Amino acid sequence: MSETKTALITGAGRNIGRAVALALAGDGLNVVINGSADRAAADSVAAEARALGVRALVAMGDVGSRAGCLAVAEAALAEFGTVDVLVNNAALRPSKTFLETTEEDWRRVLGVDMEAAIWLSQACLPGMLARGWGRIVNFTGMNAIHGYSGRAPVSVAKHGLWGLTKSLGKEFGPKGITTNAISPGPIAADDEDENPTEYRQKMVARVPVGRMGQPREVAAVVRMLVSVDGAFVNGQMLQVNGGTET
């Protein structure tokens, strides 16, 4: 494919999503920046992407519902004609005991953390199939490897997302479309304080390399997966965690 590709990244206003959007823009991909609430942050990322010489669209919308997902996808397709790379990064990580978790809590987390990838993949795959090329990257996190106390909905959603990754990899791999997952370990936020909290210190203590990861280090793995040379990596979960035990 010689023409410019387009990437849609959910939750792209800051942190890992922002780093992924700018890394792909730096590689010459047009980008669709999705956010749910902070329009100013999304606009800022889009401006940074345009400064790298590509086109950028801000598609605000809550991907926690099928209708929201379709609205974001339709905006992307109307602007660029196709989405070649889909990065499902948006996520919620609330902490609440299992017995206190309500039906609304379950539906909200499952909607954003798992079902968004289903509906966005369904919306973007037809174009990928027509072109015979595509990349889907899902963010699972360590919640997909082992369950966490107080985060049952997140763990369930991320396990489901890992299952979706494997299934799509098998179904669409023969069509030139790869699907993979990335499981980040402790990653510093854009506004990370230089003096980490006690909780952050405990997290770092679990990382053999002795520090928090950076969003750009996760984005570098996305770049590899969505590249032409990443075509033989399919249906996998890549852990970007500094060697943290899982």
Backbone angles phi, psi at 146, to 5 degrees: -150, 150
Residue 194: per-residue pLDDT: 60
Please check whether residue 1 lies inside any domain of the structure: no
Please check whether residue 59 lies inside any domain of the structure: yes
| Structure letter (DSSP) for residue 143 | G
Residue 61: per-residue pLDDT: 96
Lowest mean pLDDT among 1-10, 76-85, 108-117: 1-10
Residue 88 is encoded by which pair of tokens?
A: 């499902």
Residue 145: per-residue pLDDT: 77
Residue 2 has pLDDT above 50, yes or no: no
How many independent structural domains does the chain possess?
Answer: 1
Which candidate, 216, 235, 233, 239, places its Cα nearest to that of 25?
216
Lowest mean pLDDT among 82-86, 103-107, 188-192, 204-208: 188-192
Residue 16 has pLDDT above 90, yes or no: yes
Residue 136 has pLDDT above 70, yes or no: yes
Residue 30: per-residue pLDDT: 98
Q: What is the pLDDT of residues 53-87, one digit of tens each?
A: 999 999 999 999 999 999 999 999 999 999 999 99
Please check whether residue 229 lies inside any domain of the structure: yes
- Provide the residue range defining the domain that includes 176: 6-240
* First and final C-alpha spacing in the chain: 38
Report CA torsion sign: 179, 88, 52, 58: positive
Q: Is 186 left (phi over 0), alpha (psi -120 to 50) or beta?
A: beta
Q: In whole angstroms, give the CA distance from residue 17 to residue 22.
A: 9
Residue 1: per-residue pLDDT: 40
Task: Report residue 210's pLDDT band, with 50, 70 and 90 as the boundaries.
Answer: confident
Lowest mean pLDDT among 25-39, 135-149, 211-225: 135-149
Rounded mean pLDDT, 89-101: 94
Tell me, what CATH number does 229's domain have? 3.40.50.720
Please check whether residue 245 lies inside any domain of the structure: no
Q: What is the CB neighbour count within 10 angstroms for residue 237? A: 16
Whole-number percent of the chain with pLDDT over 90 = 80
Q: What is the pLDDT of residues 150-196, one digit of tens each?
A: 899 999 999 999 999 999 999 999 999 999 999 998 899 887 666 56
Parallel, antiparallel, or unpaired: how do β-strands 237-240 and 30-33 relate?
Answer: unpaired
Please check whether residue 184 lies inside any domain of the structure: yes
Please check whether residue 246 lies inside any domain of the structure: no
Residue 175 is encoded by which pair of tokens?
A: 């069509």
Paired strand residues for 187: 213
Please check whether residue 169 lies inside any domain of the structure: yes
Please check whether residue 134 lies inside any domain of the structure: yes
Residue 66: per-residue pLDDT: 97
